[in-house]
Amino acid sequence: MAEAVVDREPTKVLEVENLKKHFPIKAGLLRRQVGQVRAVDGVSFHVEAGETLALVGESGCGKTTTGRLILRALSPTEGTILIRDGERVWPMHRLTAQELRSARRSAQMIFQDPFHSLSPRMTVIDIISEPLILNGVRSGSTRERRVRELMDVVGLPQQYLNRYPHAFSGGQRQRIGIARALALNPKLIVADEPVSALDVSIQAQILNLLQDLQSEFGLSYLFISHDLRVVAHISTRVAVMYVGHIVETGVTEDLFTRPLHPYTEALLSAIPEPDPHVDSEEIVLAGEVADPSHPPAGCIFHPRCAYAKKVCREEVPSLRRIEGRGESSRWVACHLADELTLRGAGLPAPQESEGG
């Protein structure tokens, strides 16, 4: 039973331990399994109450899969997922379909792709009120009042109430998705690229909105994004993922100014500067993202790492703790973390190389 779990960490809204998802690769007439995609391969992290943990990393590294596992849109191959809502702790990894319905009141998802997360046959009011119906809000007028309120909150004109999703632009559809996620006042929101389809001004509104909702209701976010400027702005801490593994975590400002993993360094160097006079020198990573069905031996990043040594090709580095600034601690999975001095990003550059 859900309630039987011993509550060890009352401030943690989400705890993920050794989470794995291996997708079978099938081939041939009989669709026999010939291998597996290790999409998520043993990740552990947590989200504190009221904080925003950003999950960043290259396309295909397993961010969306991780998000979907947490809400049990997918079942994990291995690992534990605990979601805490007040007195309740939901062991998401082993809930039955029946229990999941209640658990989803505590955690909701905002999707990456606003074009496919909305059913084309449902109007805006149907879409936003669906979670209300599933959770037993029977009165139609109560639902409509709540839907109108939510539309206001996310900045959708109320006269769109009876429109279908196809008649909305990408940004408008994303607002519908956010309104729907907020309908049941969840504790945790897994937001998968929630603002990447939005132009900057709406993005600013939505980011401000997410921050307002967070301070008002003590919401926690797992914020999946590839936009590191947005991540720098919104997150308390950052976890960097590479091919199914977490390679580095840290408090946002510390991680941005002093990356410890060469992959983080490359990510930070590729942030496009909003200034046409700057020719940014991004580190273009050699080679390709490792194939999650045939991960390389040793450190999973070594084939693309400019600093790799013999040890990197032979031994898998474990995620280890390194002293952070002040109270905060850093975790990194790199054999060379103590010897390397890597280039950070952000905060006014110490030296201007060329005029601007």
Footprint of another protein (CB under 8 A): 56-60, 64, 112-113, 115-116, 155, 157, 159-160, 163, 167-172, 193, 196-205, 207-208, 211, 226-230, 232-233, 252-253, 256, 266-267, 270-278, 280, 282, 284-285, 288-289, 291, 345-348
- In the complex, the smallest distance separating the C-beta of residue 202 from ligand ATP, rounded to whole angstroms, is 8
- In the complex, the smallest distance separating the C-beta of residue 190 from ligand ATP, rounded to whole angstroms, is 12
In sequence order, the 6+-apart residues with CB closer than 8 A to the CB of 227 are 195, 196
Residues 20-49 that bind ligand ATP (CB under 6 A): 23, 37, 39
In angstroms, the CA 92 to CA 68 distance is 11
- Residue from the set 79, 171, 296, 324 that interacts with ligand ATP by CB under 6 A: 171
Total Cβ atoms within 10 A of residue 261: 29
- Residue from the set 170, 309, 315, 321 that interacts with ligand ATP by CB under 6 A: 170
- In the complex, the smallest distance separating the C-beta of residue 110 from ligand ATP, rounded to whole angstroms, is 14
- In the complex, the smallest distance separating the C-beta of residue 165 from Mg ion, rounded to whole angstroms, is 14
Q: Taking the CA atoms of 86, 331, 253 and 171 in sequence, report the sign of the dihedral they define.
A: negative
Residue among 175 and 335 whose Cβ is closer to another protein: 175
Told to check if 167 binds ligand ATP by CB under 6 A, we report yes
- Residue from the set 50, 60, 295, 296 that interacts with ligand ATP by CB under 6 A: 60
Residue among 130 and 227 whose Cβ is closer to another protein: 227
- The β-bridge relationship of strands 78-85 and 88-91 is antiparallel
Q: Helix 200-217 to helix 140-154 angle, to the nearest 10 degrees? A: 120
Told to check if 61 binds ligand ATP by CB under 6 A, we report yes
From the list 45, 28, 10, 25, the residue with the least C-alpha distance to 245 is 45
Footprint of Mg ion on this chain (CB under 5 A)?
A: 64
Residues paired with residue 46 on neighbouring β-strands, in sequence order: 15
285 binds, options ligand ATP, another protein, Mg ion, none, Cβ within 5 to 8 A by partner type: another protein
In sequence order, the 6+-apart residues with CB closer than 8 A to the CB of 91 are 2, 5, 80, 81, 82
- In the complex, the smallest distance separating the C-beta of residue 116 from another protein, rounded to whole angstroms, is 6
Size of the site for ligand ATP (CB under 6 A): 20
In angstroms, the CA 13 to CA 6 distance is 14
Q: Find out whether 54 and 235 touch, Cβ atoms under 8 Å.
A: yes
Question: Measured at CB, which residue is nearest to Mg ion?
Answer: 64
In angstroms, the CA 317 to CA 340 distance is 15
Which range binds ligand ATP by CB under 6 A, 161-169, 209-217, 252-260, 308-316? 161-169
Residue among 61 and 128 whose Cβ is closer to ligand ATP: 61
Residue among 224 and 332 whose Cβ is closer to Mg ion: 224
Residues 176-205 that bind ligand ATP (CB under 6 A): 199
- Residue from the set 3, 30, 59, 98 that interacts with ligand ATP by CB under 6 A: 59
As to burial, measured by CB atoms within 10 angstroms (0-12 exposed, 13-18 middle, 19+ buried), residue 1 is exposed
258 binds, options another protein, ligand ATP, Mg ion, none, Cβ within 5 to 8 A by partner type: none
**Residue that is written with structure tokens 């996620």 in the block:** 181
- In the complex, the smallest distance separating the C-beta of residue 298 from Mg ion, rounded to whole angstroms, is 26
Tokens of 233: 């702005």
From the list 8, 6, 12, 7, the residue with the least C-alpha distance to 45 is 12
In sequence order, the 6+-apart residues with CB closer than 8 A to the CB of 34 are 25, 26, 27, 28
Residues forming the site for ligand ATP (CB under 6 A): 23, 37, 39, 59-65, 112, 166-171, 199, 226, 292
